[in-house]
Amino acid sequence: MLRSLKELYGNKLGASDGEIGRIKDVYFDDQNWAIRYLVADTGTWLTDRKVLISPHSLASLAASGQVVRVGLTRRQIENSPSIDTQKPVSREYEDACHQYYGWPSYWKSASDVIGPQLQREVHLRSTQAVNGYLVRVGDETIGHICDFMMDAENWTIGQLVVKTGHRISGKDVLMPAKQVQRISFADSTVFAHTSAEAADQAPTDNLVPAGIVL
C-alpha cells in the first residue's frame, strides 16, 4: 500500500488513553529512505512540545483524516525526552529515546560493518524540509519535490513526487527514490541519476491518495 506523506500531515495521533496531538513531520534516513520517526505536535497539551514517535509504536496507520493509533500512554509521552525540532536530531537524543521506550536501535545492527566512528553519523532528514527542493539531472532542473510516497508495509519512501514545469500548472510525476544520487541541503537540491526525458514522461496515473491499496 502506497501512502502520500503529505496527506498524513495533520492527522490526529491517539495514545491508548486519549489523543496526544497531530502529525507535523516525518523523519527519514537519507541513505536508505527508511522512515524512522513521526514528529508529533502535542499542541497545548504539552505546551507546544514536539516528540518523536517510532513506527515500532504505531498500532495502526489510518487513512487520511482519521486517528493514527499509537501503542503508548499519554504519561509515557509526557515523560519522554524532549526534542528541539529547530536543530538536527543527535544520536545521543536517539539513544535516550530508544532506551526510554525500548525501541530497537536500527543503527547498531551495522556497527560491525562500518565501525563505531561512522556509526555515530546521523542521516535523519525532515520530509517537510526537503519538500520544495529542486530536482536536478545533469545541468538541467526538471522540477521540485512536492510529496513522498511511502510503502506502509515496510515504512520506506519508494517514490518522490516531482512537479515538473510551472510550480502551479506543472505536471506531477513519480521518481523512484533509488534514482536519487544525493541530496544537497546547502543548495536545497536533489540530484538524480534518471534522465530529464524519463522524468518528463513518467506516468502520473500511478499517484494514489492516502489509504488506497494497490
Q: What is the domain extent for residue 174?
A: 131-200
pLDDT reading at 196 higher than 80:
no
Ordered alpha helix ranges (H), 50-90: 74-78
Confidence (pLDDT) at 50: 83
pLDDT band at 97 (very low <50, low <70, confident <90, very high): very high
Same domain for 140 and 120:
no
Same domain for 159 and 189:
yes
Q: Which of 85, 105, 125 is the last residue of a domain?
A: 125
Same domain for 24 and 112:
yes
Q: What is the DSSP letter of 178?
A: G
pLDDT digits (tens, 9 = 90+) for 108-117: 644 444 344 4
pLDDT reading at 72 higher than 80:
yes
Same domain for 163 and 75:
no
Same domain for 166 and 104:
no
pLDDT digits (tens, 9 = 90+) for 163-178: 997 666 678 999 999 9
Alpha-carbon gap, residue 133 to 148, rounded angstroms: 12
Among 56, 57, 47, 106, smallest CA distance to 82 is for 47
Beta strand 50-53 pairing with 156-164: unpaired
In a 10 Å sphere around its CB, with 0-12 CB exposed, 13-18 middle and 19+ buried, how is residue 128 labelled? middle
Confidence (pLDDT) at 208: 37
pLDDT reading at 146 higher than 90:
yes
The answer to the question of residue 162 being in a domain is: yes
Same domain for 136 and 85:
no
The answer to the question of residue 49 being in a domain is: yes
Alpha-carbon gap, residue 208 to 211, rounded angstroms: 8
**Claim: this prediction has a pTM higher than 0.75:** yes
Same domain for 169 and 120:
no
Same domain for 48 and 114:
yes
Same domain for 114 and 24:
yes
CATH of the domain at 188: 2.30.30.240
Same domain for 156 and 73:
no
The answer to the question of residue 214 being in a domain is: no
Same domain for 42 and 25:
yes
Do 172 and 161 form a contact (C-beta atoms < 8 A)? Answer: yes
Same domain for 156 and 119:
no
